[in-house]
A and B are shown apart, each in its own frame.
Chain A
Amino acid sequence: MATVRFSGVNKSYGSTSVVSDLDLELPDGSFTVLVGPSGCGKSTSLRMLAGLEPVTSGTITIGDHDVTQLPPRDRDVAMVFQNYALYPHLSVRENIAFPLRASKTPRTDALRRADEVAESLGLEKLLARKPKELSGGQQQRVAIGRAIIRQPSVFLFDEPLSNLDAKLRVETRTELLQIQRRLGITSVYVTHDQEEAMTLSDRMVVMREGRTAQEGSPQDVYAHPVDTFVASFVGSPKMNLLDGEVCDGIFTLPSGFQLAIGSFDGGGAVTIGVRPDDLVPTASDGAGDARVTLIELLGPRAIVTIDARGTALTSVVETSRLAGITEGAPVTLSTRPGAVHAFDPDTGQRRAGPDNDGNRSKR
Chain B
Amino acid sequence: MMKQYIALAAAAVLALSSTAWGQTQTTTVQGSVVEQDGGSPVPNAVLMLSTSNSVLGTTDAQGRFTVKVAEGASLRVRALGYTEVVVAARNGMRVQLRAEATELDEIVVVGFGTQKKSNVTGAIAQVKAKDLESMSLFRVEQALQGRTAGVQITQNSGQPGAGSVVRIRGTASINGSDPLYVVDGVVIGGGIDYLNPNDIETIEVLKDAASAAIYGARGANGVIIVTTKSGKGAGGQMNVSVSAYQGVQNPWRKVSTLNATEYATLQNEMAGAAGQAIPYADPRAFGEGTDWQDAVFNRSAPVQSLDVSMAQSSKDASYFASVGRYRQEGIVAPGRSNFERISARLNTTNQVHRAIKVGMSTAFTHNTSQSVAENTEFGSPLGRALNMDPITPVYETNPLRLSQAPYTVGGSLRGNLVRDEGGIYAISPRVTSEVVNPVAALLTNTNVGWSDKIVHQSYAEAKLAEGLTVRTSLGIDLAFYGGNGFIPSYYLNATNFLDTNLVTQSFNRAFSWMWDNTVSYTKDFGAHHIDAVAGHSAQAVNGSFMGGSKRDVPTDEFGFATISYARNAESERVYGGRWERYAIESYFGRMNYDYDDRFLATVILRADASSRFGPNFRWGYFPSISTGWNLHKEAWWNSDLITNFKIRAGYGMSGNDAAGSLEYAATISGGRNYSFGYNEFMQNGTSPSQIANPDLRWERVGQANFGADVRWGKYLYTNVDLYHRATYDMKTRPVLPDYIGNDAPTANVGRMLNMGMDLEAGYERSFSPTRSLRVAGNVSFLRNEVVYLGNDGGYLPGQRWGPQGLEITRIQEGLPIGYFFGYLTDGVFQNSADVAAHANAEGDLLQPDAVAGDFRFVDVNNDGELNAEDRTYLGNPTPDVTFGATLNARWGGFDAVLFVQGVAGNQIYNATRRYDLPTANLNGSALDRWTGEGSTNDYARLTALDKNMNFARSSNFYVEDGSFVRIKTAQLGYTLPEGLAAKLGLKRTRLYYSGNNLLTLTKYRGFDPEIGNGFGVDRGIYPQARMHSIGFTTSLN
Q: Do A and B bind each other?
A: no
Chain A residues near B (Cβ < 8 Å): none
Binding site for A on B (CB under 8 A): none
